Amino acid sequence: MAILLDRNTRVLVQGITGREARMVTAHMLAYGTAVVCGVTPGRGGEEVAGVPVYDTVAEAVVAHRPTAALISVPPAATLDATLEAIEAGLRLLLIATERVPKHDALRLLRAAGAAGVRVIGPNSVGLINPSQRVKLGAIGGDRPERAFVPGRIGVISRSGGMTAELGLMLRRRGFGVSTAVSVGGDALIGTPPADLLPLFQADPETDAVVLFGEPGTRFEEDVAEALADGRFSKPLFALVAGRFTESLPEGTAFGHAAAIIRGGSGRPSTKLAALRQAGAWATDDLDELFRFLDALASSRADRKPGQH
């Protein structure tokens, strides 16, 4: 079961004729994902890796009934592509595009929220369900199984690259992954880490969650709140990187507005303290993260959380 993705997910790729999207489409198909159609305005009638290309999402939806879209278009086209997918009735959108203008990101997230559409990203490398061999996005490249083997750990990462690295390190220590989600590297994203916790909480195939956090935003503080008030009760292992950024000069704030509206500071040390206070196994040291996981595994010797 895992979360968000399964064998029944039918994928539409927006911007499918682009260089990156062509490669990702081929990799998704090779892994076993049902990529059923693609869209590039003006390129309808072509094929990419055997997948038919349409001019509009509306046409592709009528012909193939996709349930999820991978949006891989240039930054300036992302708002338009996302609104097109929402209007055509898609329920899960993964936006891979980096450097989406912030005003556009605000607008597309508002529209998705109003329509009840789940958005992962922008700036997400993808999500993957290894037990069913389904992935949405570039995650894992052409060899997903090198990083992601089936197992019972959920992965949530603010860094696309670290999603694969964590999968790889988990695999090497005998653990596997139920679902791994690169939530996107920006501050304005559709599904911040705390929003995934209820899904992992409800997933019988997930025993614990590993979170990779970074400086900035309130995302880790929100995760701590979800732990503290019991919305998430499985073990949570958090790695928050970037402690050194706290020793960089801050510079003089440009204007007063940030100080007026901001409560939290986005500092890794504050995030770690909040997570620990809430009962997470939180650290800024990768090796300590794995010591935590090993400790959990040996304390439950009868049922190692990584084993499928």
Partner 1 sequence: MARLLEHDAKAILAARGIPVPRGQAVSSPEEARRAAVALGRPVVVKALVPVGKRGKSGAVRLAADPEAAGEAAAALLGREVGGFPVERVLVEEAVPVAGERYLAIVLDADGRTVRVLAGREGGIEVEELARREGGIASLELAPCEGLMPFHARQLWRSAGVRGPALPRLGQLTAALHRTFIELEAELLEINPLAETAAGELVATGAVVALDEAALFRQPELAERVVSGPAWRPPTALERQVAAINAAEPYRGSARYLELEGGDIAFLCGGGGASLLLFDALLRAGGRPANYAEIGGNPTEMKVAALARVVLSKPGVRGLFVAHNLTNNTQVDVLARGVVQALCEAGRLPPDFPVVARETGVNEAEGRAIFEAAGVRWLGEEVTLSEAARIMVQAMRERYGESDGDPARP
Cα–Cα distance for residue pair 265/191, rounded to 1 Å = 21
Contact pattern from residue 27 through residue 66 relative to partner 1, giving x for each residue in contact according to CB under 8 A and a dash for the rest: ----------------------------------------
Helix (H, G, I), strand (E, B) or coil at 79: helix
Cα–Cα distance for residue pair 97/102, rounded to 1 Å = 13
Closest CA to 45 of 36, 55, 58, 33: 55
Asked if residue 231 binds partner 1 (CB under 8 A), the reply is: no
Asked if residue 161 binds partner 1 (CB under 8 A), the reply is: yes
The verdict on whether 256 is a catalytic residue reads: yes
Asked if residue 116 binds partner 1 (CB under 8 A), the reply is: no
Question: Of 27, 64, 256, 308, which residue is the catalytic one?
Answer: 256
Count of residues touching partner 1 (by CB under 8 A): 70
Segment (H or E) for 24:
helix 19-31
Asked if residue 139 binds partner 1 (CB under 8 A), the reply is: yes
Nearer to partner 1, 41 or 264 (CB): 264
With CB under 8 A as the contact rule, the residue among 11, 81, 125, 155 that binds partner 1 is 125
Nearer to partner 1, 37 or 169 (CB): 169
Count Cβ atoms below 10 Å from residue 49 Cβ, excluding itself.
17
Cα–Cα distance for residue pair 161/139, rounded to 1 Å = 8
Strands 177-182 and 127-129: what pairing? Answer: antiparallel
Asked if residue 71 binds partner 1 (CB under 8 A), the reply is: no
235: amino acid identity, one letter: P
Closest CA to 83 of 11, 14, 183: 14
* CA distance to 40, 93, 129, 130, 243, per residue, from 22 (Å): 12, 18, 21, 22, 38
Asked if residue 281 binds partner 1 (CB under 8 A), the reply is: no
Contact pattern from residue 6 through residue 25 relative to partner 1, giving x for each residue in contact according to CB under 8 A and a dash for the rest: --------------x--x--
Cα–Cα distance for residue pair 234/214, rounded to 1 Å = 22
* Binding segment toward partner 1, per CB under 8 A, in 5-13, 56-64, 224-232, 239-247: 239-247
Contacts (CB under 8 A) with partner 1, residues 89-108: 98-104, 106-107
Closest approach of partner 1 to the CB of residue 260, in Å: 4
With CB under 8 A as the contact rule, the residue among 90, 164, 181, 223 that binds partner 1 is 164
Phi, psi of 189 (to 5 degrees): -130, 160
Nearer to partner 1, 259 or 301 (CB): 259
Nearer to partner 1, 254 or 301 (CB): 254
The answer to whether 40 and 15 have CB atoms below 8 angstroms apart is yes
Q: State in Å, rounded, how far the first CA of the chain is from the last one.
A: 13
User: Who contacts 32 (Cβ-Cβ below 8 Å, separation ≥6)?
Assistant: 132, 133, 134
Q: Following CA atoms 171, 173, 175, 181 in sequence, which dihedral angle do they give, to the nearest 10 degrees?
A: -50
Nearer to partner 1, 116 or 255 (CB): 255
With CB under 8 A as the contact rule, the residue among 14, 284, 296, 306 that binds partner 1 is 284
Q: List residues near partner 1 by CB under 8 A.
A: 20, 23, 75-76, 98-104, 106-107, 109-110, 125, 138-142, 146-147, 157-162, 164-165, 167-169, 172, 185, 187-188, 212, 214-215, 217-218, 239, 241-245, 248-262, 264, 284-287, 290
Q: Please identify every residue annotated as catalytic.
A: 256
